Structure 1
Amino acid sequence: MNKAFVKENDEDDEESMPGVPSLPPGTRNYMTRIGYEVLRNELDKLVREERPALVETIRWAASNGDRSENGDYIYGKKRLREIDRRVRFLIKRLESATVVTPADQENTEQVFFGATVTVCDVGCEAEATYQIVGVDEANASEGRISWIAPLSRALLKAREGDVVRFASPAGLREIEVLEIRYE
């Protein structure tokens, strides 16, 4: 068989999904309860609704005869592979998840996973608020940043009033921690 059609390694390719951040080796997959439920609901929808409907469409398309020129069959099979890959990825992420409830945090004086932190660049009037969440639930435009992001790592264990320095894509930044909340 031609090597172009053979996988070189037998490892699961879930971690190499485009646009999906990978976890650092040897770390836990921390998530908030909301993030866990979002992934769980996506998995349920794929398994219970989308995949069975697609399998039925592929079955119908296959019964029409020549599969080599059958667009419903060809694109249906491609979409089925995408769904199966996403299902494997979600199962793997959910199995390795460690759900953390921010409201249960005992040490509320310092920044830890789940904290909602209000910060201000030193010498600047603009404030920004971020919640430190899991890699699968991060969305910077909504103020949710991953716990492995440079800003989050710099903020970890900081207290109100602390000034932290970190390397950002724009260069070295200094920010002051104004408020820490656990919701």
Structure 2
Amino acid sequence: MALVPMTLRGAQKLRDELDELKNEQRPKIIKAIAEARAHGDLKENAEYHAARDQQGFCEGRIQEIEAKLSNAQIIDVSKLNQDGRVVFGTTVTILNLDTEEEQTYQLVGDDEADFKIGRISVNSPIARGLIGKSEGDEITIQTPGGKVDVEILSVKYLTE
């Protein structure tokens, strides 16, 4: 399986979720199954079946997170060669040359992406258009909505 790029923050977020699933959710589900089992007939015991479904979801998510972490290539943005080029993890401010609108994005892994807070997947059209470019470059990015002309105003190597 290929390595998956991930920021330090993204890896920590997954570790925190894994810890919560293993040490809080899993014991609660096991207790709920035991309590439902005590009610008798399991065929028509909705609480038991609901708890078993919840257990399946929880165990599946634990496996998914463990697989992602085992294949993670954790990148500390502050330790990158800070030569002004756009790479995974950098925070980029661009100016849309048509609308004069400024936007700031951090290029992150797929699991960390959240467009509402300015974190875009390194695999998104915008990020792919920015990778390898430098501050001051004017480029045309092909997006699902059409071509967009932008200027890169700044490239920062921030950890948050």
What's the TM-score once normalised by structure 1's chain length? 0.83
Aligned equivalent of 1:47: 22
Aligned equivalent of 2:121: 146
1:108 aligned onto 2:83: yes
* Equivalent residue in structure 1 for 2:98, among 123, 135, 139: 123
Measured in 1, the distance between the counterparts of 2:63 and 2:117 equals: 27
Once the two structures are superposed, the pairs formed by residues 3-82 of structure 1 within 5 Å of their partners are 27-82=2-57
Which structure's relative contact order is higher, taking Cα pairs within 8 Å and 6+ residues apart? 2
Measured in 1, the distance between the counterparts of 2:54 and 2:131 equals: 41
For structure 1, list consecutive stretches of 5 or more residues without a partner in the other structure: 1-25
Q: How far is 1:168 from its partner?
A: 1.1
Aligned equivalent of 2:157: 182
Comparing 162-171 with 74-83, greater Cα deviation is found at 162-171
* Equivalent residue in structure 1 for 2:133, among 153, 158, 177: 158
Measured in 1, the distance between the counterparts of 2:120 and 2:20 equals: 26
Aligned equivalent of 1:83: 58
Answer yes or no: is the 8 Å Cα contact 1:108–1:181 preserved in 2. Answer: no
Aligned equivalent of 1:94: 69
For structure 2, list consecutive stretches of 5 or more residues without a partner in the other structure: none
Q: How far is 1:159 from its partner?
A: 0.7
Measured in 2, the distance between the counterparts of 1:123 and 1:69 equals: 63
Comparing 163-172 with 50-59, greater Cα deviation is found at 163-172
The DSSP-based 3-state class of the residue aligned with 2:112 is coil
Give the aligned residue type for 1:117: V
Runs of 4+ in structure 1 off by over 3 angstroms are none
The DSSP-based 3-state class of the residue aligned with 1:178 is strand
Q: How far is 1:27 from its partner?
A: 4.2
Give the aligned residue type for 2:37: A
- Identity rate of aligned residues, in percent? 34
CA RMSD of aligned residues (A): 1.2
Answer yes or no: is the 8 Å Cα contact 1:31–1:98 preserved in 2. Answer: yes
Answer yes or no: is the 8 Å Cα contact 1:108–1:182 preserved in 2. Answer: no
What's the TM-score once normalised by structure 2's chain length? 0.94
Measured in 2, the distance between the counterparts of 1:48 and 1:94 equals: 18
The DSSP-based 3-state class of the residue aligned with 1:157 is coil
